[in-house]
Amino acid sequence: MTEVFEDQVCPFCGCLCDDIRLEVENGKVVKNDNGCAISKAKFLNHHDDRIESPTVKKSAVSLDDAIDKAVEILASAKRPLIYGLSSTENDAHREAYKIAETLGGVVDNTSSVCHGPTILGVQESGEAAGSLAEVKNRADTIIYWGSNPQFAHPRHLSRYVRVQGEYIKDAKADRKIWVFDIRKTISANVADEFVKLAPGGDLELIGALRAIVRGHPLDVEEAGGVSIEKITEIAEALKGTKYGILFFGLGLTQSKGRHRNIDAAIRLVQDLNAYTKWNMMPMRGHFNVAGANKTSTWQTGYPFAVDYAKGYPRYQPGEYTAVDMLVNKEADVMLNIAADPAAHFPRAAIRHMSTIPVINIDPKRNMTSLLAEVNIPVALSGIECDGSAVRMDGLPLYLRKVVDPPDGVLPDRDVLKMIHTKLRKVVK
């Protein structure tokens, strides 16, 4: 029998497209309409390449035994690091923060290696925020800066930009798309204007744009690899907009300058608001990394890089962030949930991970599962269990369950709750 699910949310990227139509047969998703190529790959292959059983030191064990081992390791840790959270739903996050508090450990999410600098920039200069619906209905100037949506968020353009909106009658004629990047990406190909900047030249270019927007002439020929003539032309175009949106990606947060780039971009948007309406939005990658920042802030007071060693939460990016905790050889145990740090961290961090016990909670096999002492398979959020997640513009959306997880496999939140319940009995 074929079961049909309409308007399912896609749990892959920060767009959280909520118009996916799925067909399910015999406990498997067999058809995905509306989803992009990545969404199709995710739903149609949800049963492939799974961690088949809980394991301790590569030997299959029962779920209870794996949880006991995880509790034993965590209880004996002096400086535990709890990390991940961006590819699971909000309720699982709560349990992770409880574990961090009970243990007096550090809890960080994957935003420390994606939009952490965005948060630092916002804390410095304020948040210019708007919704994606506003973009669709009003934006006549769209910038993608250091972001390649055609690859990383394949439906972003078709759902919010190259589409008709309330005040945008002709998506092609009434909107202008700019791409700022160091290389001509596939998104640059579909843009109306491509501005190629020098590698690491973002901060300089934004600074020059700000100066010119504010009416200060610059006595140089170029800034950030772009001629002053071109920068003047861009500044005039941005000021002449009715509603502008600056979408930015990791090209801005991960390059030279990091949070200083974001700080400057926010100030540019503030400057432009003296003339017209401008907003900005980070292109969030993992489907619930924005949720991890929200839940962390709700429960600990801080969006990432939180340390409970003193019994109360403290915040220090650069110190309690996962890469630093590992590279500085501080963490002596790592509990990883819904992320793959062994595939995405620099080698010095991975090397330290290989010297400490790692407890890995994830549905699928990956580099971290190869390295972990304890692996606990879990259900895929938004496919095999429900929950809520937060879209890149801050909108919470409900993820539905469409198929059952494999036998005996529980959602992250249940596994984490079991760990926490047992931990509380052994940790003072």
Partner 1 sequence: MNDVGVEVVLTSGRTLKQGQTMELGKLNQKYFEAVAICEVDKSTLEALGLEEGEPVKVKTATGSVVVACKLDRRAEPGIAFMPCGPWANAVLDSDTIESGMPRFKDMDAKLIAAKGEKVPSAEDLLKAIVEVP
**Which residues 26-45 are close enough to bind partner 1 by CB under 8 A?**
37-38, 41-42, 45
**Interface of this chain with ligand SF4, residues 37 to 76, rule: CB under 6 A:** 38-39
Q: What's phi and psi for 408, nearest 5 deg?
A: 80, 0
16 touches ligand SF4 by CB under 6 A: yes
Minimum CB distance to ligand SF4 smaller for 17 or for 177: 17
* 141: β partners: 176, 244
Residue 226 is a binding residue for partner 1 (CB under 8 A): no
At 262, phi and psi to the nearest 5? Answer: -70, -45
Q: Total binding residues for partner 1 by CB under 8 A? A: 68
Strand order in the sheet with 374-376: 59-60, 55-56, 374-376, 358-361, 333-337, 80-84, 106-109, 306-307, 314-315
377 lies in the site for ligand SF4, by CB under 6 A: no
Quick one: which of 115, 136, 153, 267 contacts ligand SF4 (CB under 6 A)?
Answer: 153
Q: How far is CA 77 from CA 58, 64, 100, 320, 371, in A?
A: 21, 20, 12, 16, 18
Which segment (60-68, 74-82, 186-194, 265-273) binds partner 1 by CB under 8 A? 186-194
The token pair that represents 284 in the structure block? 């969030």
- Going residue by residue from 98 to 137, which x/- string records binding to ligand SF4, judged by CB under 6 A? ----------------------------------------
Check residue 180 for interaction with partner 1 (CB under 8 A).
Answer: no
Among 8, 15, 138, 393, binds ligand SF4 (CB under 6 A): 15
Q: In degrees to the nearest 10, what's the CA dihedral of 373, 379, 381, 385?
A: -150
Binds 284, which of partner 1, ligand SF4, none (CB < 5 to 8 A, cut-off by type)?
none
User: What does 384 bind: ligand SF4, partner 1, none (CB cut-off 5 to 8 Å by kind)?
Assistant: none
Q: What is the DSSP string of 9-75?
A: PP-SBTT--S-EEEEEETTEEEEEES--HHHHHHHHTTTTTB--S-EETTEE--HHHHHHHHHHHHH
DSSP 3-state of 101: helix
Query: 119 and 324 in contact (C-beta within 8 Å)?
Result: no
- 38 vs 171 by CB, closer to ligand SF4: 38
**Interface with ligand SF4 (CB under 6 A), residue from 8, 12, 105, 390:** 12
For the record, the structure tokens of 259 come out as 């949070």
Query: How is residue 74 written in tokens?
Result: 């965590």
> Is 330 a residue that touches partner 1 (CB under 8 A)?
no
Q: Binding to partner 1 by residue 221, rule CB under 8 A? A: no
Interface positions with partner 1 (CB under 8 A) = 12-13, 37-38, 41-42, 45, 48-49, 108, 112-113, 116-117, 120, 146, 148, 150-152, 154, 182-186, 188-189, 199-200, 249-251, 253-256, 258-259, 285, 304-305, 317-319, 321-324, 327, 340, 342-351, 354, 364-367, 370-371
Interface positions with ligand SF4 (CB under 6 A) = 10, 12-13, 15-17, 35-36, 38-39, 153-155
